[in-house]
Amino acid sequence: MEIVSAISLWFIPVMIAFILIYGTYKKVPTYESFVEGGKEGIKMAVSIMPFLVGMMVAIAVFRASGALDVMVGWIRPSLEMVGIPAEIVPLALIRPISGTAALGITSDLIGVHGPDSFIGTLAATLQGSTDTTFYVLTVYFGAVGIKKMGDALKVGLLADAVAIITAIIVVTFMF
Amino acid sequence: MVNYIWVVMILIGLGFAMVNGTMAEVNEAVFSGAKEAITLSIGLISILVFWLGMMRIAEDSGLLSKLSTLFKPLISKLFPEVPSNHPAMGYILSNMIANMFGLGNAATPLGIKAMEELKELNGGKNEASRSMITFLAINTASITLIPTTVIAIRMNYDSANPTDIVGPTLVATAVSAVAAILIDRFFYYRRSKKG
């Protein structure tokens, strides 16, 4: 585990050093290249804005109205029937929709049940092993102007479902 | 489909607020949601500028195409439509590597850049190509080696061993990534059958 955290700490600095040394060695005008590339970043951030505002307002309205809670309440019994613990249900349903909301629920579950409890471990695994599908879709497709998403949303949500089920099975076995 | 999901989500929320008496909360949510989105995009600017700058050096020096040649066998199986020496490959790879190390902040700019290259490969059309959907599927399943945020939360709550979560996450993420690729393939073959 020591090695793992060391790698994550050293990864970015080593990568930066490597890119700079290699670029200098290949006689790339490093600073000018950096500035040129950086300009694109500003354009990108601005072009994501409307996509994010649209999506995040919709999610915020849905959540604040209480509709999300009611929906979770409806789906909960059938999920419990297949062995998904009740405490984890809201997290499982919100994880693909809102990353910040999911993070809030995860911290809450870990706080209430303890970080090393079954629920706490399950919440942490769930949070770490899937990504916010809606966010990835909005940002990635939004930034480059993809309007027809095709099967992307379906594929993403199905993959999330598999990830959630896998997390439950894995944590149940490890506990 | 996004259009419907978006409208339905807002309308249900508004309808619900009328019946449920949560209008005040919804009113606030409209503005706080919008504000949060802008804060997020502005927060992204610094990281986008820095990483895209760095990656431009990597691209100009040929490092990116070197990287993609190295992992060519694996990636070209996943993305059969992308020529192996295309810069898209390099960006896809760097995005996956950043994700593996839990560097979501570094992964986003690289992912967007990869999308841009994929769009160009697709003739600049505004519809998602096969490779784009595969790339998204891999990203939403997010192959993670080190879930940094989660470890930080566990530390906050005095876990006996915060990094214990790495094991279960690794297994869960590996299985779900494989599943994501299979699901993606399934939908692709279903599409191509329909013609």
Per the CB < 8 Å rule, is A136 touching B180?
no
Instruction: Tell me which residues of chain A, numbers 7 to 66, contact chain B at a CB-CB cutoff of 8 Å.
Output: 7-8, 11-12, 15-16, 19-20, 22-23, 25-26, 28, 30, 33-42, 44-46, 48-49, 52-66
Q: Nearest by CB to A66, which of B20, B103, B159?
A: B20
Chain A residues touching residue B6 (CB < 8 angstroms): 54-55, 58
Q: Which residue of B has its CA nearest to A134?
A: B140
Of B50, B98, B120, B100, residue with least CA distance to A45: B50
pLDDT at B131: 92
Q: CA–CA separation, A80 vs A77, rounded Å?
A: 5
pLDDT at B59: 84
Prediction pTM value? 0.77
Long-range pairs of B157-164 with CB within 8 A, sequence gap ≥ 24? B157/A110, B157/A111, B157/A114, B157/A115, B157/A120, B158/A115, B159/A115, B159/A116, B160/A115, B160/A116, B161/A1, B161/A116, B162/A115, B163/A1, B163/A4, B163/A5, B164/A1, B164/A116, B164/A121
Smallest CA–CA distance, residue A123 to chain B, in Å, is 9
Smallest CA–CA distance, residue A101 to chain B, in Å, is 12
Q: Nearest by CB to A8, which of B26, B148, B156?
A: B148
Per the CB < 8 Å rule, is A115 touching B175?
no
pLDDT at A6: 67
A27-41, B108-122, B162-176 — which is least confidently predicted? B162-176
Smallest CA–CA distance, residue B64 to chain A, in Å, is 10
A111 touches chain B (CB under 8 A): yes
pLDDT at B132: 93
Asked if the interface predicted TM-score (ipTM) of this complex is over 0.85, the answer is no
Chain B residues touching residue A115 (CB < 8 angstroms): 153-154, 157-160, 162
Per the CB < 8 Å rule, is A124 touching B153?
yes
Domain segments of chain A as ranges: 1-46, 66-174
> pLDDT class for B115, splitting at 50, 70, 90?
very high
pLDDT at A15: 82
pLDDT at A4: 57
Smallest CA–CA distance, residue A104 to chain B, in Å, is 10
Instruction: Tell me which residues of chain A, numbers 74 to 93, contact chain B at a CB-CB cutoff of 8 Å.
Output: none
Beta bridge partners of A148: B127
Per the CB < 8 Å rule, is B163 touching A37?
no
Average pLDDT of the segment spanning B179-190: 91
pLDDT at B150: 80
Smallest CA–CA distance, residue A33 to chain B, in Å, is 6
pLDDT at A3: 63
A13-17, B25-29, B95-99 — which is least confidently predicted? B95-99
Residues 6+ apart with CB under 8 A from B70: none
pLDDT at B66: 80
Of B34, B104, B112, residue with least CA distance to A146: B112
**pLDDT, one tens digit for every residue, chain A (175 residues):** 566 566 666 777 888 899 999 999 999 999 999 999 889 888 878 887 888 788 888 888 988 898 888 887 888 888 778 777 878 888 888 888 777 778 778 888 888 889 899 999 999 998 888 878 888 888 888 888 888 888 888 888 888 888 888 888 888 887 7
**Are the beta carbons of B104 and B82 closer than 8 angstroms?**
no
Beta bridge partners of B127: A148
* Mutation target among B56, B156, B194 for the A interface, most CBs of A within 10 A: B56
Chain A residues touching residue B25 (CB < 8 angstroms): 64-66
Q: Nearest by CB to B38, which of A49, A62, A146?
A: A49
Question: Identity (one letter) of the amino acid at B10?
Answer: I
> pLDDT class for B135, splitting at 50, 70, 90?
very high
Residues 6+ apart with CB under 8 A from B38: A49, A52, A53
Q: CA–CA separation, B56 vs B32, rounded Å?
A: 35
A171 touches chain B (CB under 8 A): yes
pLDDT at B15: 94
For residue range B67-91, list pLDDT tens digits in order.
777 777 878 888 988 887 788 888 8
* Dihedrals phi, psi of B127, to nearest 5 degrees: -110, 155
